[in-house]
Amino acid sequence: MLRISNKKLASYIDHTLLKKEAKEEDIEKLCKEAIEYGFKTVCLYPIHIPIAKKLLKGKKTIPIAVIDFPKGRSLILKKVKETEDAIKKGAMEIDMVIDYMALKNKDYKKVFNGIKAVVETAKPKIVKVILEISELTDNEKIIACALAKAAGAKFVKTSTGFSKSGATIKDVKLMKEIVGKDVLVKASGGIRTKKDALEMINAGASRIGASSSVKIVGGKDKYKKEY
């Protein structure tokens, strides 16, 4: 298995907080941890982006927003408006949820158009497309990856973390095989240890989404007592 330092591993991680009930102090805690440990990003709902933008000003860690999360069923116009709003608030990357029910219904044009609209709206910012792999057959995963790549997404992402299961080594390998070198893979959902993260990177992931990020890099929850 790939061996890398905790510091290097931190640079792969999108430090994530997607609890609807999260308060301002929770976002502050997340950002402090991201700065201290050197996480690549903090991943949040658009409503929390302004707080993160303020706290991360001048830092290497950047704020990213989830769009149409977690179901992916919104009309394309709503996806676009949510993306525009998130970017205005300060989001530097976008993680959007694919309309996986449309995919299952073989409405591939709708799926493609939804991704393409967000990609075009977010340009030149990175867009990651969350496939929600636990809801898809292997054939549907292949089609979803192909559609995301054709629509100009920079990443395909395994999961929201709000469905039946999260990332698996098998799925990360499959996704990477389909998208090739031009598109990257983000593994997210159920990654709680350094071993989990390294297995995903070894399988082909270039980014890790996790809420257990501090534990993954061997850190301590030192800010807990402040709140």
What pLDDT, in 10s, does the model give residues 32-91?
999 999 999 999 999 999 999 999 999 999 999 999 999 999 999 999 999 999 999 999
Phi, psi of 223, rounded to the nearest 5 degrees: -90, -5
The answer to whether the pTM exceeds 0.85 is: yes
Parallel, antiparallel or unpaired: strands 184-188 and 41-44: unpaired
The answer regarding whether domain 6-226 maps to CATH 3.20.20.70 reads yes
What's the pLDDT band for 224 if we cut at 50, 70, 90? Answer: low
Helix 169-179 × helix 194-203 angle, to 10°: 30
Catalytic position from the list 29, 154, 186, 196? 186
Q: Around Cβ 4, how many Cβ atoms within 10 Å?
A: 14
- Which residue is catalytic, options 14, 68, 95, 171? 95
Q: What is the DSSP string of 170-217?
A: HHHHHHHHHHTTTSEEEEESS--SHHHHHHHHHHT-SEEEES-HHHHT
pLDDT digits (tens, 9 = 90+) for 137-169: 999 999 999 999 999 999 999 999 988 888 999
Please say if 40 is a catalytic residue.
Answer: no
Catalytic status, residue 224: no
Q: Is 164 a catalytic residue?
A: no
Residue 183 has pLDDT above 80, yes or no: yes
The one catalytic residue in 40, 79, 154, 157 is: 157
CA dist 12 and 75 (Å) reads 32
